[in-house]
Structure 1
Amino acid sequence: MSDSAPTAGQNIQVLRKTLGWGQEHLARRMGISASLLRKIEDGTRTATPPTVAQAAKAMGVSTARIYGTPFSDPGEAQGLLDALRLTVRRHTLPREDVPALDKLAAGLAEAAQLRADTRYLELLRKLPKLLEQASAVALQAGGDATAWGQLADLYGCAYAVAHRLGQADLSDMIVSRQQWAAQRTWNPEAEAGAAWNEAGTYQSAGEYSDGLAIVDRAIVRYEQGGRTDTPEAAVALGSLHLRGVVLASRAKDHNAWAAHHEHAKAFAERFPGGDVLRHNLTFGPGNTALYELAAHVELGRPDKASEMAEPLMRTPPAGLGASRIGRLCIDTARARLDLNDIRGAEAALKRAHEVAPQMAEVHPMAREVLRVLFILHQRSRPDLINLAKRSGLMPEL
């Protein structure tokens, strides 16, 4: 998907120099040591999400500016994103007629599967037409909750693509459309799914406290609105708590992360047979374990994360799709790299490229881990060279 696109660590250096700042000055504004910033810029330490948030705040730019786009070739991906952006902007003016409902249902199911499989380009090719068809159905159906729920779920698929491809402005616009559709369903699960993505936009922007506020508000709203003892409620509330786990761990709020984690574990116990998928939210004991592992990495406990990863990598939990297994591999690679387990990190990253190649090629943390691995005396390793080429990193390294 990329020809040549810099990573977050490289962009920090470029932006710093554009401002005319030295490393000591930026490091001081970020609240980190100059030696750590030097390592981040030269590629011997990864630019973690909290570090990117600190750099963005210090330099007065968005985190999206630092992450950049994961591809530099203005080819098919960019053209497809432009088509999606136009469709989302014209959300009440669909240019497609109302399709046969069985055909639309098949298209929606295919979109959900493509999202779960992280096949982003294939999904992008289908989204504009599908969104317009689903919009036409919902607008004609008036107050039909099912039609609006389908549209809300489809916007959830669109958000996943825009978010993963580094399109912050498009992600924000999609979330507003998803909320618009979800509010017409009278379905609290659809609204929870929209809130989960809304909090995700704050997470991507490094605004962790605000994201936690969105999560807490959505949980209270759901709990006040009806029953919480159903499987649907467990998925909605459990997923919101998992979003809280990530936000709290990146904010280094140990109390909040522990509280969200305990609530998520309690809801996950209702699914002893494995994780389930509802409204594009995967929830159960497996995904809860993956979020706990990721939180340990963010909280500076890579040894605990690596220990958890061993059985999960060996036998992935039932019910998890490629997007979740790929993320497990990326978090495992980061934890092992923090422990200076170079070969273990390389093995985990290779696994990520095997199970979720399109995600691994563009995921900011996967690209940062690969950059560090490549620089740390790994230039002669053919597999790393191949991964670097696929991820568009070779011209810069």
Structure 2
Amino acid sequence: MTFKTLDDLTDIAGKRVLVRVDLNVPVKDGQVTDTTRIERVAPTIRELSEKGAKIILLAHFGRPKGEPVADMSLKAIAPAVEEILDQRVHFAADCIGDKAANAIAEMNDGDVLLLENTRFHKGEEKNDPAFVTALAANGDLYVNDAFSAAHRAHASTEGLAQHLPAYAGRTMQAELEALEKGLGNPKRPVVAIVGGAKVSTKIDLLQNLVKKVDALVIGGGMANTFLAAQGVDVGKSLCEHDLAETAKSIIAAAAAAGCAIVLPEDGVVAREFKAGADNAVVDIKAIPADAMVLDVGPKSVAAINDWISRAETLVWNGPLGAFEIAPFDKATVAAAKHAAARTRQGSLVSVAGGGDTVAALNHAEVADDFTYVSTAGGAFLEWMEGKPLPGVDILHKQK
């Protein structure tokens, strides 16, 4: 690894450790409804606490645009953090200044303190040097455990690492190690599955992947755009006809790079978008003019699973069909289960990420069987696009 981890932090009893975490969790009626992100950072917090450090948590919540917003206070999140850690979590009503300093002064070794939303200050998103200095005054060391915010060059994600000795937390470390196996230095053949509704949101991703993978499986609504570009009549299916030239250029780039493009051979069509709608499997060249493709068909699933069987590495972003409604979840579930089985056998490294992808793998009940499932959203996508991640790059530089 080319960055420092918690393994490099030994004699830290009594040290003030600023830990950037992701607590941007869904909340309904004042209650956290999904604690996944808190669970992910718990190991880092526990380890630092056991080593006797004073753990000072930095996080953002929502988009308050640089000023305090009552319902975006992290105070409401503290009880959920406390419950998962099974440890008291103190709270300070600001992340800089006297309120933060006074709360830190009262800490004992091993204590955990959550500071108020960093985005209550305009300096956070601007990575303002004065704000970074004010944050740095609260700590002796810096640990970044928020890969999900690593694509932003903010004060608490990038600026602090220029002021204090910087380390990757356990979640950050696991994510970076998994991503290295996925695209950085993967075992070949590498197969990528990219699905979802629109090509327009994933142009950079597709253009990067064709240069790095051996086969690119395209599913979801975006497959229709590629099919239409090749002259297939997709009926009333979701399709970005104006991106036909973009689709053709991606196909050409794949051919030049020796990357196979895998498009659906058949599709499950329906005339209405609802659970249990009347549906039929048709050849991809025989889509009725008044119908829409809502999933890939069994021939396509067989072809996709054949590619997964040949792969040593699988990178997955986006479902193959409208998995949220039955029966249009069948292809996504079948491919996910096949990838999970190969991973369990030790034959496949499987890395997946993106909100819909995580939901789809949970729906297929296989998320725990994949090598790594990233909850990072935007940061995961930007990594797949080959873009620099400031919060990660600065950790590499520090080493």
Choose between structure 1 and 2: higher helix proportion: 1
If the length of structure 1 is used for normalisation, what is the TM-score? 0.30
The two structures have a TM-score, normalised by structure 2, of 0.30
Larger Rg: 2
